[in-house]
Structure 1
Amino acid sequence: MRSVVVCILVVLVLSRVVDVRSLNPSLNDDVLGLIVFKADIEDPDSKLASWNEDDDCPCNWVGVKCNPRSNRVTELALDGFSLSGHLGRGLLQLQSLRKLSLSNNNFTGSILPNLARLTNLRIVDLSGNGLSGHIPDDFFNQCGSLRVISLSGNHFSGQIPSSLASCSTLASVNFSSNQFSGPLPSGIWSLNGLSSLDLSDNLLEGDIPKGIQDLYNLRAIILQKNRFKGPLPDGIGDCLLLRRIDLSENSLSGNLPATMQKLTLCNYLSLRGNVFNGEVPYWIGEMKSLEALDISENKFSGALPPSLGNLQSLKTLNFSRNGFTGSLPESMINCLNLVELDFSQNSFAGSLPAWVFMASSQESLFSVNKMSGNTSQSLSSKNSHSELEVLDLSSNAFSGEIPTAVKSLSSLRSLNLSGNSLVGAVPSSFGEMKAMNVLDLSKNQFNGSIPLEIGGAISLKELRLANNFLTGKIPTSLQSCSLLQSLILSNNKLTGPIPAAMAKLTYLEYVDLSFNNLSGSLPKQLANLPNLMSFNISHNHLQGELPAGGFFNTISPSSVSSNPSLCGSAVNKSCPAVLPKPIVLNPNSSSDSSTGSLPPYLGHKKIILSISALIAISAAAVIVIGVIAITVLNLRVRSSTSRSAAAPTLSGGDEFSNSPTTDANSGKLVMFSGEPDFSTGAHALLNKDCELGRGGFGAVYRTVLGDGRPVAIKKLTVSSLVKSQDDFEREVKKLGKVRHHNLVALEGYYWTPSLQLLIYEFVSGGSLYKHLHEGLGGNSLSWNERFNVIIGMAKSLAHLHQMNIIHYNLKSSNILLDSSGEPKVADFGLARLLPMLDRYVLSSKIQSALGYMAPEFACRTVKITEKCDVYGFGILVLEVVTGKQPVEYMEDDVVVLCDMVRGALEEGRVEECVDAKLKGSFPAEEAIPVMKLGLICTSQVPSNRPDMAEVVNILELIRCPSEGQEELV
């Protein structure tokens, strides 16, 4: 359709050109070119509304500038217009164009092969789009007067064209953030007018070729994030105008060439993440304009030269992760502008120099070295004017006490002294440091009690005092630290109860009080902490019942172990006030029901059934009854359908009217964005070949809109169960407002009294069921792909629950994967279209999901809530990890997935449950906690299942573990 429109449009424009070509042929070439260019693109925000083919001159159009004398188009700047589509040949009509800037749009496809041959073109900026493919090797053969070209932030691949070397007028080249590969073109250093070269974030490889010294105008060379190797060419020091050098994250090696000392104008030098070796040369002090120097993550060694003190303009210095030794040079006291310095993870020795506390310093990192000395001298009152915000001296050999005068560092936000040999009491003066966010004194030899004054540090987010010799009680004053997120006090000698005031710390996420001598009962109010993710109280003397609700419903047994007097489900010990679980005798037993035990001489064993077994039996009975009922219902539906032959059907596009009428001869079509033409695809609904599948709510077909976009259309069945038109439209419009990248978007609907359609986005990758059980795509899903599916499902359900929508119909066939493997949950909220949420009707509609249905569907006295979705999600998690279906029928047995995994967990062989297709390529530290989380979600008691928001947090913890994280079960 578009091609027809374009052809008609071109003919119309050309006819106008013929009429007036004798008056001004060049002018109309520009109008024609721009209109043809517009016809090839999408303009969702109507930014190009002023572009009218009836105009004789385009000079007043948005984004267009002309030469005032000739009225020829010289500039086309459409940056950030949200345009999409291909770059059409209409641009080649603009023969006087000097600047083409189309950055930060959504253009796709390849680059115009003759674009660089516009002889007047000076600037080309196509950055921040989705352009792809190889650039033809002859692309720059006739590049005219091109001075600036930027293709950054696209998907170009292949080698950089060798013809680039023929563009002698080029001053700036930016090909960053693409997928270019291969070596640098051999002639690139012949562009002696080049002032800026940015090829960062690509796949370029090989040595940096010699000859760079010919670029005497070069100001910036940025080659970071590639695969370059070998030494730096000596000629780099002859580029005397260089101001910025970034060669980080490559595999460059060898010593730094001595010619670099001539780069006296250079203010930024980053060699981070290579394999350079040797010592830092003394001549580094000659580069006196340096403001940022980063040589971290290399193999440099030896002592630092005192000439570093000559770099008086230096603001940022990073020498971390090398093999440096010796003391830090005292000459650096001359670097008065130094703001950030990082010497961590080396082998520096000696004491902490005084210049660390210079007035301008804000961040000083010295962790993991061999530095020593008495901190009481370093952290003294003479530093009262320091602006230091971050100080990390962790994992060294510092000793002595922390002086009270530490409060003079009033700007300090983070202080890490962990892993040293510090002694004495924790200074009460920390309470006066109002800006402090992080205080880490763990792994030292501190004694005494935690000062009450610590509550004065009202900005504290992390307090870490683990592995010391602290005694006394946990101060109740901590309740004043209302922003506290992490409280780590493990491995001390603390006594007394856990203060109830801790329940006021609503931001708490991680708490570790393990290996202390705490006693008393846990405050019930702790269950109200909304953000709690880990709470470890193991190896104490706590007693009584664990708090009920919230995080404590899923707390790991290892987090509460070795507290003999604690009771509750997590420690598998009933509390005195809680009745034990009932024991039910096997009805086939021959014992007397009044005795409760069998006489030993009868030789029969007493058989008991657990509550979960009874529920399973009940659920099986419901399944049988449901199957019979749905069979009867389907027979009735078929008979009623056969009697309704006069009901309107979709033939061609006649019923797809945008009219609001709803009589039997005219349907109502509503699209939530736009008004596409269905005339080319409506017939597909009656075409069996286009059917994608069938479910409890209807069949799904693939069709194509008039604009070429595929959609999935669900044709609802059992119309007698659908709500009235008003109710139907109200509920569908609510579902249409639900948007999340892990949910299949509802794009519109169609209504007649006898036919209802739901129009969804089309997801091309197939269902999760087919990927897991039918081998769709040929290759089995990897562990990373499975984990991404799980967390994507969790996020989508959390979003639904936040909008008070229950899915009701979770199953692997309702989880679709897009072309990049991203999961999209389908069929959410369709139960809202039923006149009432009757359990029989609902269970019959989604009988294929019975393996995923929560046990409360079998019990009318239990309310159906979001926890039903949590149960179904738990089954899905186990299905994704194990590759097995929720219920599998063998020749003489039925295997229930969650029971199989739970049994394997109890026997210590849970790893055997992981899908054999992964063949040991899964990380056990992720797979096992994920399976345990799945089991927690399938708890028989709804209140014991976590919320989906909590599930998302737990999954993110499993993928990105933090200190204090414990196993889930």
Structure 2
Amino acid sequence: MGLFHLFIFAFISFASLITINGDESLNLNEEVLGLIVFKSSLTDPLSHLSSWNQDDENPCSWKFVTCSPVTRKVTGLSLDGLNLSGKIGRGLEKLQSLKILSLANNNFTGYINPDLSLLTKLERLNLSGNGLSDRIPGSLLNPGTIKFLDLSRNFISGPVPEQFFMNCLSLRSLSLSSNNLEGPIPSSLSNCTSLNHLSLSNNRFSGNPEFESGIWSLNRIRTLDLSHNSLSGSIPNGVMALHDLKELSLQGNQFSGSLPSDLGLCPHLNTLDLSNNLLTDSIPKSIRALSSLSYLNLANNMLTGDFPEWIGSLTSLEYLELSGNSLTGILPEYIALTSLKYLSLSDNKLTGNIPMSLVSSGALSTISLSGNKFNGSIPDGLFGLGFDKIDLSRNELTGSIPPGSGKIFESLQTLDLSGNRLTGDIPVGIGLYSKLRYLNLSWNSFETTMPLELGNLKNLMVLDLRSGAFQGSVPNNICDSGRIGILQLDLNSFTGSIPYGIGNCSSLYLLSMSHNNLNGTIPRSMSQLKKLKILKLENNQLTGEIPPELGDLENLLSVNISHNRLQGRLPSAGIFPSLSASSLEGNLGICSPLLHEPCKLNVPKPLYLDPFAYPNQNERHRQHQTDQSSNYYKPHRFGVSSIIAILAAIAILIGVLVVILLNISARRRLAFVGNSLESCSSSTRSGSGLSMGKFVWFDAKDNYCIVNPESLLENGHEIGSGVFGTVYKASIGRDEDDVIAIKSLVVSNMTPYPDDFDREVSVLGKLKHPNLVTLKGYYWTSKLQLLVTDFVPNGSLHTKLHERSSSDPPLSWRNRFKILLGTAKGLAYLHHSFRPPIMHYNIKPNNILLDENLNPKVSDFGLARVISRLDKHVMKSRFESALGYVAPELACQSLRVNEKCDVYGFGVLILEIVTGRRPIEYGEDNVLILNEQVKIMLEEGNVLECVDESMGEYGEDEVLPVLKLGLVCTSQIPSSRPSMAEVVQILQVIKTPVPHRMS
């Protein structure tokens, strides 16, 4: 702080000690100096406060300052949205007549100045929308005069002090929303008996507000918003006796139990949102008494019972959202309320027909009935209303799509009829939906052609016609709008060539035409799709060479052109040189070192001219002499009979070699089976024709004798399956703790040598690490091959992240970090403790198992090496199941890859654990690539918005570097990725505790 500022502070301190009765000018100068000192602590880049002049006798003429016309003292200071920054420093405490202080929507940082409590007449304080941090001063409400307090949308942290609400009798409105506040809601809140509006949403409050805060005793409350916290317990009966309550928002918590039976005792209630909780039982009938209710949202709970037949009595209802429950029964015929605008009942167990009365609901703009068991046909006339969105997907609807009419042509933006049993032609006039952006007709039985009118949809961004029984050719005008981002035509009967007009899809990033009967060549116009990320053309009849221009598509991440009739060279640039064999196999002859098929170049063969073929008369005699004297200089030519004889000899030789090899193989198998019989007191030949085999245990203390391995699979139960096989849980021995996991490997008719299998698996049996699943032994026959491992009781990380039951708490940040560090240690052990290193090839949450203490155990390591000897076709499924985790070079299944492919998969795993999002997510209008999204948000400075809110509190100084590490591990250049040993070191440094870090 400069000498001028020190002088100002000294002068104000000196002036505050002097009392001169009747000297009005000195008081006014004190307010001037106070505002000048406040201004000196902030930055005003747009000079909004240029009128604030320290030479003025009073500040009443200054902009943004309000004074009393009687006393000429400052009563209001409103600086909202002026792009001011800095700290809220000293000076304002000199404005002793100040009633309104509003500094909202600026860039103020630092803590909330406790000197604001010295403003004894302050009634309204608004500091929302800034960057304030630290904790709320417990004395902020001490003046007892504040009526309106708004501290929302800051970074205030910690618990709310108990003494904060000790002097809140005058408080009418309080908002602490969108901060980082935690802990229980203070019980002293019950002192605020005059409170009308309370918002504590989007924080980390926990506990049961019924018992801890007395929040339900605020009988003057009108709006109560506790949404998006971690509050728990039940919502008690009697709470709804709040006679003045108009809005109640409790969504996004962990409230459980039944809904209060006295919900109907709030006659003025117009908004009720209890969605995304753990509420059970049926919807209470008392809600029918809420005649003023316009917004009702009970989605994503565990509500049961029949759909309420009294819903039609809520004549003021405009928004009804009951999706994601277990409601049963049929919809009442009078559900079509005249005021209803939004109706969503998706993902329940509703049956019956869609009520015809919906046709008469003129106000309805959104209807979502997906994921139920509705049957019958779509009501005639439904497509004559002014809908914005119609989602009837995943039901059992039959018949055809009704024709559109009226205002729906100008209003409809989303139409999803997928997953039904619809038939017939697509209605004439489909091209008239001028605002349609999302169209999904997949998984139906239309058995018709793709209408040309689809090319007239100028705003269409997503078109999904998968498995719709469509026939004929793909229209050339399909991309005339140029706005389509997702085009999925898989699993149909399309014929003809890929239209050249596909190049007009300049916004396309997902193109999928697999499993059709398309023929002809891949059009060169596809090279114009500069935004394309995913291209799927497998299982068609495409011919010719792949246009080399496709190698210039820099954004292309995944390509599958397998099982066509393509041949020739791959493009030399882009993703094509590193495509896996599974993406190329099944063609006539693509030139790739990963494929064993002969390479067929689509070029003419050179013409061979024999100089001795047609000698002239003068040369014949000389040629004859030359033939006799030096015959070895003359090119040999074979007749047809000679060629046939040579080929026959070659075939006989190959046959002899095959017989010799088969005899050797048989002797090896017999020796293996003989050794197997020695390891167990009895052996068996199963009814399914299995060869005799044995269990081999790597640890002598586990030497159980398993007579019939099939009985383990039959008596156990399946706990998982993947591309390498199915996993069963089975008990062995008499002790209940003798539980093992058995993986039945995928095999084909190509049986490997038993000693090869023994050698590969024995290597894996030697691996011992606390973060690896221990391989205990194996069983081998020609038809059944089992791997025996420890049973890990807590399931997979995938289940904890994406398929968590409502009773299972979300993973905390501490546990997520433990899982990351343990997984990294396990992979580092595989990479750095063996030469050559053991690579996993398939890092993803399904292969990270969790024990009873949530310690990670990496599974399926090294299996790609074993399975590849069994069945090469498994490789294709493996990469398809791991889309998003596979490194961009896509070479992990070849022998030339290194450990950096695993590092890439681990980087994606980092981002998935921190964000709770899948690596690739398909939205209505786009495909979200997780690492790209995190990178963009990091560059924009708001990467913490990606963090999974369900994990509760976390330290930013841990989460932020972990996210950055994930991005480094997913670098497009393998050499830029760290080794797993370096990853472990970085994570250990990040976890080093400091005094202020959260655990």
TM over 0.5: yes
Q: Deviations over 1:412-465 (max 9, x none)?
A: 332211111111222233233333332222113222222344354544333222
Task: Report Cα offsets for 1:228-267 as digits up to 9, x if no partner.
Answer: 1122223322211122111111112222222222222222
Residue 28 (structure 1) shift: 8.6
Question: How far apart are 1:573 and its partner, in Å?
Answer: 7.5
Establish whether residue 551 from structure 1 lines up as the match of residue 571 from structure 2: no
Quote the Cα distance in structure 2 between the aligned partners of 1:405 and 1:124: 56
TM-score between the two structures when normalised by the length of structure 2: 0.58
Structure 2 CA distance for aligned equivalents of residues 15 and 922 of structure 1: 76
Match 2:827 to one of 865, 868, 882? 882
Distance in 2 separating the partners of 1:561 and 1:404:
41
Aligned-partner Cα distance in 1 for 2:29–2:452: 81
Query: Which residue in the other structure is 2:181 paired with?
Result: 156
Match of 1:300 in 2: 327
Distance 1:574 1:61, change over 3 A: farther
Of the candidates 889, 901, 920, which is equivalent to residue 961 of structure 1?
Answer: 920
Relative to structure 1, the CA distance from residue 108 to residue 65 in structure 2 (aligned partners, 3 Å threshold; closer, same or farther) is farther
SS at match of 1:278: coil
Cross-structure match for 2:307: 280
Which stretches in structure 1 are left out of the alignment for 5+ residues?
A: 579-771, 773-782, 789-817, 823-877
CA 1:386–1:357 in structure 2 vs 1: closer, same or farther (change >3 Å)?
farther
| SS of aligned partner of 2:459 | coil
SS of the residue aligned with 2:162?
coil
Give the alignment of 1:190-339 within 5 angstroms: 190-309=217-336, 311-339=337-365
For 1:614-653, list aligned pairs within 5 A.
none
State the alpha-carbon separation in 2 of the partners of residues 217 and 144 from structure 1. 18
Give how far 1:397 is off. Answer: 1.2
**Which of residues 488, 503, 512 is equivalent to 2:527?**
503
Q: Does 1:531 align with 2:468?
A: no
* Gap change, CA 1:53 and 1:557, over 3 Å in 2: farther
Find the counterpart in structure 2 of residue 700 from structure 1: none
Equivalences, count: 660
Change (3 A) 1:546 1:207: same
Q: Which residue of 1 aligns with 2:135?
A: 110
The structural deviation recorded for 1:220 is 1.0
Partner of 1:13: 12
User: Aligned partners of 1:89 and 1:62: how far apart in 2?
Assistant: 26
**Match for residue 354 of structure 1 among 369, 376, 380:** 380
Query: In structure 1, how many angstroms separate the alpha carbons of the residues matched to 2:30 and 2:210?
Result: 37
Preserved contact between residue 376 and residue 396 of structure 2 (Cα < 8 Å) = yes
Amino acid at match of 2:581: P
Structure 1 residue 487, shift from structure 2 partner: 2.1
| CA distance in structure 2 between the partners assigned to 1:208 and 1:526 by the alignment | 60
SS of 2:447 mapped into structure 1: strand
Structure 1 residues 953 and 576, CA, compared in 2 at 3 Å: closer, same or farther?
farther
What is the aligned-residue identity percentage? 34
Match of 1:370 among 382, 392, 396: 396
Task: Sort the Cα spacing of 1:557 and 1:304 in 2 relative to 1 into closer, same or farther, 3 A.
Answer: same
Question: 2:826, 2:63 → 1: CA distance?
Answer: 54
| SS of match in other structure, 2:563 | coil
Whole-angstrom CA distance in 1 between matches of 2:258 and 2:909: 46
1:622-660 CA distance string (max 9 Å, x none): xxxxxxxxxxxxxxxxxxxxxxxxxxxxxxxxxxxxxxx
**1:30 Cα shift?**
6.9
What SS does the aligned partner of 1:124 have?
Answer: strand
Equivalent in the alignment of 1:122: 147
Partner Cα separation in structure 1 for residue 556 and residue 447 of structure 2 = 32
8 A Cα contact 2:567 2:600, kept in partner: no
What is the letter of the counterpart of residue 422 of structure 1? F
Distance, in Å, in 2 between the alignment partners of 1:202 and 1:83 is 25
CA deviations over 1:677-728 (Å, ceiling 9, x no partner): xxxxxxxxxxxxxxxxxxxxxxxxxxxxxxxxxxxxxxxxxxxxxxxxxxxx
Task: Work out whether residues 250 and 275 of structure 2, in 8 Å CA contact, stay in contact via their aligned partners in 1.
Answer: yes
Q: Which residue of 1 aligns with 2:467?
A: 443
Distance 1:410 1:84, change over 3 A: closer
Instruction: Verify the 8 A CA contact 2:384 2:405 in the aligned structure 1.
Output: no
Query: Residue 139 of structure 1 aligns with which residue?
Result: 164
1:920 aligns with 2:858: yes
Question: How many Å separate the matches in 1 of 2:286 and 2:327?
Answer: 19
Mapped to 2, the partners of 1:184 and 1:879 lie a distance apart of 40
Distance 1:381 1:218 in 2: 43
CA distance in 2, matches of 1:211, 1:917: 44
Task: Supply the distance in 1 between the matched residues of 2:104 and 2:526 (Cα, whole angstroms).
Answer: 53
The DSSP-based 3-state class of the residue aligned with 1:225 is coil
Counterpart code for 1:337 = A
Alignment of 1:927-946 (within 5 A): 932-933=887-888
Q: Give the deviation of 1:179 after TM superposition.
A: 1.3
Kept in 1, the 8 Å contact 2:349–2:372? The answer is yes
Question: 1:366-385 CA distances to partner (integer Å, 9 max, x unpaired)?
Answer: 1111111133xx23678985
2: CA distance, partners of 1:369 / 1:523: 42
How far 1:105 moved relative to its partner? 1.4
Kept in 2: contact 1:29–1:93 (CA 8 A)? no
User: What secondary structure does 2:837 align onto?
Assistant: helix
Cα deviation, residue 325, structure 1: 0.7
Amino acid of the structure 1 residue aligned with 2:266: C
Separation in 1 of the partners of 2:911 and 2:185? 39
- Tell me the CA shift for residue 137 of structure 1: 2.5
Post-superposition shift, 1:95? Answer: 0.7
Amino acid at match of 2:141: A
> Contact 1:358–1:386 at 8 Å: present in 2 too?
no
Tell me if the contact between 1:266 and 1:290 (Cα under 8 Å) persists in the aligned partners: yes
**Alpha-carbon distance in structure 1 between the residues aligned to 2:381 and 2:162:** 55
CA RMSD, 1 decimal: 4.8
The 2-side partners of 1:433 and 1:497 are apart by 27
Structure 1 residue matching 2:575: 3-state secondary structure: helix
Kept in 2, the 8 Å contact 1:254–1:275? The answer is: yes
Contact 2:193 2:218 in 1 (8 A): yes
Q: Is the 8 A contact 1:43 1:83 kept in 2?
A: no
* 1:390 corresponding residue in structure 2: 414
Q: What CA distance in whole angstroms lies between the structure 2 residues aligned with 1:168 and 1:10?
A: 40
Report the Cα offset of residue 931 of structure 1. Answer: 7.1
Q: Residue in 1 aligned with 2:455?
A: 431
**Contact 1:110–1:133 under 8 Å retained in 2:** yes
Deviation per CA, 1:471-513, whole angstroms, max 9, x where unpaired? 2222223233333332211111222211222222333222211
Counterpart code for 2:837: M
Distance 2:368 2:522 in 1: 39
Deviations 1:820-855 (A, max 9, x none): 999xxxxxxxxxxxxxxxxxxxxxxxxxxxxxxxxx
CA deviations on 1:721-764 (whole Å, 9 max, x unpaired) are xxxxxxxxxxxxxxxxxxxxxxxxxxxxxxxxxxxxxxxxxxxx
Partner secondary structure for residue 302 of structure 1: coil
Shift of 1:305: 1.1
Which residues in structure 2 correspond to 1:16-31 (within 5 Å)?
Answer: 16-20=15-19, 22=21, 23=23
Corresponding residue for 2:87?
none
Secondary structure of 1:83's aligned partner: strand
Is the 2:469–2:492 contact (alpha carbons within 8 Å) kept by the matching residues of 1?
yes
CA contact (8 A) 1:290 1:313 kept: yes
Displacement of 1:223 in angstroms is: 1.0
Task: For 1:900, give the aligned amino acid.
Answer: P
Match of 2:446 in 1: 422
Tell which deviates more after alignment, 91-100 or 556-565: 556-565
- What is the deviation of 1:357? 0.9
Q: After superposition, what is the alpha-carbon deviation per residue over 1:539-559, rounded to whole angstroms, capped at 9, x for unaligned? A: 111000001101223323221
Higher mean Cα deviation, 146-155 or 523-532? 523-532
Contact 1:34 1:90 in 2 (8 A): no
Q: 1:488 aligns with which of 512, 527, 532?
A: 512
2:748 is aligned to none
